[in-house]
Amino acid sequence: MEKYSKTCLMRNIVTSCSLTYRGLRPILLFLLLASMPLLTSAKGFVANTSDGIAYNSPNNALSLKLGGRIHFDGTYFDEDKTTLHSGWLLRRMRLSLRINLIKDWRLSGQYDFVDEEERYNSLWIRYSGFKLMNLIAGQFEEPFGLEKSTSSNHITFMERALPNILGPGTNVGFGVSHWGKNWSSSGGLFWETYIEESDPFAAKEGMGLTGRFTKVPFHRRGWNLHLGVSGSYRLPDNRDRIRIRTRPESRTTDEKLISTGWLRDVESYTTGALEAALLIGPFSLQGEYTKMFVDRENGQDNESFDGNYIYVSWFVTGEHRPYSVKSGAFNRVKPVGTNGAWELALRRSHLNLNSGTGNIRGGKQTNMTWGLNWYFHQSARLMLNYIQVDTDNYAGDDDPTIIQLRLQLAI
DSSP-assigned letters across all residues of 178-198 = EE-SSEEEEEEEEE---B-TT
Q: Give CA 18 to chain center in angstroms.
A: 20
Dist CA 297 CA 263 (whole Å): 11
Per DSSP, 227 falls in state E
Which of 8-22, 131-145, 251-265, 292-306 shows the lowest per-residue confidence on average (mean pLDDT)? 8-22
Residue with the bigger pLDDT between 137 and 53: it is 137
Domains, the chain, with CATH or none: 68-410 (2.40.160.10)
The pTM score is 0.87
Which run of H or of E encompasses 350? strand 341-354
Provide CB contacts within 8 A for 274, sequence distance 6+. Answer: 228, 229, 288, 289
Q: CA Rg, the chain, in Å? A: 22
What SS3 class is residue 25? helix
Instruction: Please determine, for residue 43, whether its predicted confidence score (pLDDT) is greater than 90.
Output: no
Dist CA 304 CA 302 (whole Å): 7
Q: Which pLDDT does position 3 carry in this prediction?
A: 47
Q: Which pLDDT does position 237 carry in this prediction?
A: 78
Nearest partner of 152 among 101, 198, 96, 192, judged by Cα: 96
Render pLDDT for 119-138 as a digit per residue (tens, 0 to 9). 777 899 999 999 999 999 99
pLDDT band with cut points at 50, 70 and 90 for residue 305 = very high
Q: Which pLDDT does position 120 carry in this prediction?
A: 77
Residue with the bigger pLDDT between 181 and 35: it is 181
Render pLDDT for 216-268 as a digit per residue (tens, 0 to 9). 998 887 789 999 999 999 998 778 899 999 999 999 999 999 999 999 999 99
Render pLDDT for 352-395 as a digit per residue (tens, 0 to 9). 999 988 899 999 999 999 999 999 999 999 999 999 999 999 99
Q: Which pLDDT does position 277 carry in this prediction?
A: 98
Q: Which pLDDT does position 95 carry in this prediction?
A: 92
Amino acid of residue 146: L
Nearest partner of 343 among 384, 287, 399, 298, judged by Cα: 384
Beta bridge partners of 352: 306, 364
Question: Are 141 and 169 spatial neighbours (Cβ–Cβ below 8 Å)?
Answer: yes
What SS3 class is residue 53? strand
Render pLDDT for 170-179 as a digit per residue (tens, 0 to 9). 889 999 999 9
